[in-house]
Amino acid sequence: MSIRNLEPKAMWNHFADLNAVPRPSKKEERVIEFMMNFGKSLGLETIQDKIGNVIIKKPASKGMEDRETVILQSHIDMVHQKNSDTVFDFDTQGIEMLVDGDWVKANGTTLGADNGIGVASIMAILASSDIDHPAIEGMFTIDEETGMTGAIHLDGSNFTGKILLNLDTEDDDELSIGCAGGIDTNTSYNYSQVDINKDFIGYQISIKGLLGGHSGMDIDKGRGNANKLMNRIHYHLHSLTELQIISIDGGSLRNAIPRESKSVIAIHKDYAPTFEKEITRIAQELAFELKTIEPHLEIHWTPTEISGKAISSEDMMKILNALYSVHNGVFRMSPDIQGLVETSSSLARVIVKEGSFITQSLQRSSVESTKSDVANSIRASFENIGAAVVQSGDYPGWQPNPTSPILNLMTDLYKEIFKDEPHVKACHAGLECGILGKHLPGTDMISFGPNIRAAHSPDEKVQISSVQKYWGYLLETLKRIPKK
C-alpha cells in the first residue's frame, strides 16, 4: 500500500513530500527552501528568520476570528542514521518508506517521523480549506536534533500567539508538560603512538545488533551501549595478555544510544587460540547478561591485516580506565515524579585513530543543579587523564505547570473523546519548549503526538492508527481554543 493512500491523506501526502527532501541537522538549506516555497504557494505570510526558522501564518477560519492565536510548532530537521549494511546517501536521496501492517517504517534508515509527522500535520492545517481553526502561526525550527539552534536563536517578535502546541512527543496517550535540559561534553586527547609488535597479529572486533534508540527517552530501558561493551572487551583482554589497540570507531550520533562499534587490535601470534576461546566466552557472557533486552546482539572477531601505529601501553591504560569509569545511563531518578528519569548521561561516540582519542557524550536533566553535577562527573573522568574537555550547547529544561489552561482543556477533551485519562508527564527528552518559553514569555505550552517507536535509529516507525487518533485530537483541540 502506498503511504499516500493512508488516512488522513492530506497529512500523509505532506509527510511523503517532506521525506523526499534531504534534511539532516545543520544541513537544512533544502528543507528551508521547501517550506518557504510551500508557504508562499498558499499565499500565506511566510518568513525566514535570521537563523533559518520558517514561520507561516494563516488567518482564522470563518467564525473563529475571536479565538486566541495558536502557535503550532515542530522541527524540520531529522536524525540521519542507517544500518551499516544499508547503501543509502542521505545527502541526495529521499527516505524510502514502506507500510508494514499498522506501521510505517523506512528501508534500513531512520524514518523521520520525529518530527516529520508534526511538520506534516501543520502543513495539512495550513493548506486546508475545510478545517476549523483559530489564527495559526506555524513555527518550523531548525537543528533541533544537534543543538536546538533554531529554538535558541528564535526571534520571538514574529509571534503573537499565547498558546503553543508542540507536536513532538511519541506516545498518543501522553500530554507532556515538562522536559529535560541538556549539555554536550566533547573530549580530546592526543596519545603516544608506538610500532605494532612484529610478532603480533591483528583482529577486527565488531559489535552490532543493539537496539540503540533515543538517549533521553530510552536511557532507562537498560539497553546496551556499544562503546561501553567494546571497552569492557578490551579491558578484559588486556588483563589476560599484552594487547595493542590500533583503532576504535563506536557510535554515530550525539543523541542516540550507540548500536555499533568496531575496533582493530593486535595480540601475540602465539596467543591467538587462547584469544579466540576467551573472546568467545566474553561474547557469550555479554549475550547472557543482555538476552532479555538485546536479543540480537552480535559480537564478531575476524583476523585482519594491520598497519600504522598502536596506542602506547601507558596511554592505552589511561583510555581504558577513563572509558570504564565514565558514567553512562541513569544518574538519578526524579524524587517528585514517579518513573521520571531526572538526570542521565550517554556515551555516544568513541573514536581512536592516528594519535587522537575523541569522545562525545550528552548529559540531560530536568534540574539544572544535577545537570551540572553529572556533567562535572564526566569532565572529571577525562580530565584525570589529561584530556581537553569542552562543554557546549547548554539548554534549559521546561518546568512543568500542572495548572496550565491548555493542559486542562486537552485533558478534559481527551477524556470526552477517548473515555480514558491521558498520562500527564514530563519527559527526559530535550524538547524545545524550555528554550521557546524564554523567547515567548507567558506562553501556555503543551506537547503531544502519535506513537513513534525507536526514534533516532533505523528501526524507527510510526503507528498508522495512532496517527489517526492524534490527528482527530489535534483538530478537535483547535476547535475548542478559547476566545480572546
C-alpha neighbours within 13 Å on the C-beta side of residue 89 = 3
Q: Which of 28, 114, 144, 459 is catalytic?
A: 144
Q: Which of 111, 146, 122, 225 is nearest to 453 (CA)?
A: 111
Amino acid of residue 160 = T
Say how far apart CA 351 and CA 282 lie, in whole Å: 22
C-alpha cell at 315: 596511554
Q: Which of 49, 68, 77, 432 is catalytic?
A: 77
Say how far apart CA 105 and CA 256 lie, in whole Å: 18
- Unique residue bearing C-alpha cell 492530506: 10
Rg (CA), the chain: 24
| 174: annotated active-site residue | no
Q: Does residue 158 have a cis bond before it (omega within 30 degrees)?
A: no
Q: Which residues lie closer than 8 Å to 281 by C-beta, 6 or more apart?
A: none
3-state class (DSSP) for residue 68 = coil
C-alpha cell at 430: 530535550
| CA angle (354, 355, 358) in 5-degree steps | 100
The answer to whether the beta carbons of residues 103 and 117 sit under 8 Å apart is no
- Residue 104 gets the label, from left (phi > 0), alpha (psi -120 to 50) or beta, of beta
Instruction: Give the DSSP per-residue string, 317-331.
Output: HHHHHHHHHS--EEE
CB atoms within 10 A of CB 401: 15
Say how far apart CA 397 and CA 167 lie, in whole Å: 17
The answer to whether the beta carbons of residues 285 and 299 sit under 8 Å apart is no
Q: Which of 39, 59, 91, 74 is nearest to 474 (CA)?
A: 74
C-alpha neighbours within 13 Å on the C-beta side of residue 157 = 2
The answer to whether the beta carbons of residues 461 and 113 sit under 8 Å apart is yes
DSSP secondary structure letter of residue 245: E
- The angle, 0 to 180 degrees and rounded to 10, between the axes of the packed helices 464-480 and 113-127 is 50
The answer to whether the beta carbons of residues 477 and 409 sit under 8 Å apart is yes
Q: Which of 367, 370, 364 is nearest to 430 (CA)?
A: 364
| 144: annotated active-site residue | yes
Residues tagged active-site: 77, 144
